[in-house]
Amino acid sequence: MQTHNLGYPRIGNQRTLKKANEAYWAGKIKAHELQQTARTIRLFNWQLQKDAGIDWIPCNDFSFYDHVLDTCLMTGAIPERFHELIVNKQITNPDLGFAMARGFQEDGYDITAMEMTKWFDTNYHYIVPEFKAGQQFSFFHNKVVNEFAEAKREGFNAKPVLLGPVSFLLLGKEKEDGFNKLDLIHNLLPVYFEALQQLDDNGAYFIQFDEPCLSLNLSQAERAVFTKTYNAIKTRFPNLQVILANYFECYGDNLQTALQLPVHTLHLDLVRCPLQLDDILTAEFAKSKIHVSLGVVDGRNVWKNDFEQSLSLIQKAINKIGKDRLWIAPSCSLLHSPCDLHFEQKLNPEIKQWLAFAKQKLDEVVTLKQLAEGDKTEALHHKLQENINAGKSRKTSTLIHNEEVRQRMAAITEADAKRNNPFSIRKEKQHAALRLPLFATTTIGSFPQTKEVRSWRAKWKKKELSDDAYNALLKAETEKAVRWQEEIDMDVLVHGEFERNDMVEYFGEQLAGFAFTENGWVQSYGSRCVKPPIIYGDVYRPKPMTVEWSGYAQSLTKKYMKGMLTGPVTILQWSFVRNDQPRRETCTQIALAIRDEVKDLEKAGIKIIQIDEPAIREGLPLRKENWQQYLDWAVRAFRIASSGVSDETQIHTHMCYSEFNDIIENIAAMDADVITIETSRSQMELLNAFADFKYPNEIGPGVYDIHSPRVPSKEEMVLLMEKAKAVIPSDQLWVNPDCGLKTRGWEETKSALIEMVNAAKALRAAVGETV
């Protein structure tokens, strides 16, 4: 029986990579210093896994920014707009990758970044590959070979990890009409062959191909591409042993295709889909030679493994095919898990005993192997008993259950999930009450959290700054932001959210049923890390959370101040969620808490309230047959949160990078008065879904990509809005950035927003409206 890991967090225990990347971008460290930081992280991660007893350690799971971007670089899938940087500036990696991910605006160049979207149903974002008809590929960057050679040189039993060629194509975007991106497999495979040849020459034995698209609904033609691809790889490299990794769901209808592929080992995510083990362990499969990797340790959540449950699955596999064909592993890459529970010194000990982070999950994998093989050591028996006791403690803990919450849940009616009147009536009332101009301008919520703001929070948390002193600083910063928005003539203001650390953590800290970590960071995209709260028990709101700050900001201005809230689905999706009850129940509990806050904001005189739901699409199950059940409870949760106010109160929502075509009816069912969406990188393409549906409510398509430091011009924003006007009536349109501005600097933010406001004025002037 073997153990292996699919991938390890690349950010470092203390967000080392984030800090190094940002220092490099700011010109504070040199390229060789950044490379040394990367090497230190890789060596640390490999040694950690070796010390834990992992038999096969992943390499090439490290990335400066994103592993899909790395695959673009490996295969030479570099959009043409970046070619001049290679030719004229001799730009190399990692700078080329950073330019592709973040855009490039210096030395007279102004090149837009590649699109970014969610990695399946996680909160990780990947850079979307761009493909065109007849595209040629080349082995441009040999990172995978270099990192394998490095691991081997340092004495580690490494297996290179590659994003599989078929998933790489499926995850990309066709940038022109008239071709199917999977037709490019014939041009792409020779590049993979070249990488595999070099790995083979360097002594690689196992190669892990991640093909997570096998978890999706695929056509027969798409399945056929998997078959042809892996047959071609086996023919060309008969001695390389392929580990095929699918995760986040079952293989489903793709199972027979997967079972017929000439691979050494097939990985199963038994956390998301334990039932698939029975589908695979047939008498016919028992006669085959394929090994099975049992992903029994949850790579995406923080709860301690249930050893008894996992051992029952492992034993079932042993009974069918024996120990020699089994591998034990996490369900997916540990990229989605915090690094090490050891660094959490302030967690409630009762809750902490229920948890396992990435380092602890490695130990769980090895311990499960030892237990399954029948080891009888006292230390192992102690680990098993400790695991059983922790599980019993969680089931009986008084921290978890609240009877008042249960009673309120049972009392919810359909009326609680409906506004008083339909949007057509609300719209007239809101227009009469608010009297906003055509192409009203606003931002999505947050303003830059400068080093000074973050230092105030750090000092306050260390009690080096009193509550009064901290609040005085925040009030001054808030007033400064309000005055500046008035100065540039923004129509609907925000207070800037300087008091908030994270859009989910801030609310979780004020809701019962949530726990918080000191160092539980995970990567969201690039250098952006988040510290998800842990939902361990029933959720409710002990007291108002945002009313004081929104009320203060509104007192500073005669313009409208938006109340800013995070929606129930996003709080759920961006937290580590309890796994002892259905997710829909936890989501409804959060919705009731947000509903209370919305009603209190309205009472405080806030006329416009935004309930952000950037994560609603990422919560979709990966297989379409399961979508509607999720959408029903997710939309209902949003409506419960937003429906307790009068018709005159305008409810906004915001959604991040998403494809809306296939859920547009459900988005409309949310019944937000205004929805703001990220559209600038796609050049307004995402609006087509709203236009085709004849979406009745108001829309703010993003005209400014906040994930890039690049500042767009007024003319560029006007052009984007002209594209929007071509498909959406002008009286439904707002003008806003793509997303919140927390991670940007003030200089670029001010420049971009001034351009944005001027763009809106130009649009009004073009249609003859000035008021």
Indicate which residues carry an active-site annotation. Answer: 707
Q: Give kind and range of the element (H or E) at residue 20.
A: helix 16-25
Q: Degrees (nearest 5) of the Cα angle 174, 175, 178?
A: 65
Cα–Cα distance between 505 and 531 in angstroms, integer?
A: 7
Count of helix runs (H) and strand runs (E) in the chain: 29, 24
SS3 content of the chain, % helix, strand, coil (to 5): 50, 15, 40
- Residue 389, Cα to own-chain centre: how many angstroms? 33
Q: Which is nearest to 114 in space by CA: 166, 70, 74, 144?
A: 70
Asked whether 144 and 195 are in contact (CB, 8 A), the reply is yes
Q: Which is nearest to 549 in space by CA: 618, 489, 478, 614?
A: 478
Q: Degrees (nearest 5) of the Cα angle 69, 72, 74?
A: 110
Cα–Cα distance between 656 and 679 in angstroms, integer?
A: 9
Both tokens assigned to 156: 């580690």
Asked whether 745 and 449 are in contact (CB, 8 A), the reply is no
Bin 682: left if φ > 0, else alpha if -120 < ψ < 50, else beta. alpha
Q: Where are the alpha helices (DSSP H) in 89-171?
A: 95-102, 143-153, 165-170
DSSP at 112: P
Cα–Cα distance between 710 and 715 in angstroms, integer?
A: 15
Q: Which is nearest to 114 in space by CA: 649, 418, 526, 447?
A: 526
Amino acid at 9: P
Asked whether 320 and 357 are in contact (CB, 8 A), the reply is no
Q: Which is nearest to 369 in space by CA: 321, 332, 320, 318?
A: 318
Dihedral angle computed from the Cα positions of residues 216, 219, 220 and 223, in that order, rounded to the nearest 10 degrees: -40
Asked whether 442 and 562 are in contact (CB, 8 A), the reply is yes
Longest dimension (CA), the chain: 83
Asked whether 273 and 249 are in contact (CB, 8 A), the reply is yes
**Residue count (the chain):** 771
Both tokens assigned to 443: 């931002």
Cα–Cα distance between 651 and 697 in angstroms, integer?
A: 11
Cα–Cα distance between 265 and 291 in angstroms, integer?
A: 4
- Give every strand in the sheet of 291-297, ordered side by side: 2-3, 326-330, 291-297, 265-269, 241-245, 206-210, 158-163, 57-59
Instruction: Count CB atoms within 10 A of the CB of residue 243.
Output: 24
Both tokens assigned to 261: 């592929």
Cα–Cα distance between 666 and 631 in angstroms, integer?
A: 7
Cα–Cα distance between 739 and 761 in angstroms, integer?
A: 21
3-state secondary structure 541-579: CCCCCCHHHHHHHHHCCCCEEEEEEECHHHHHHCCECCC
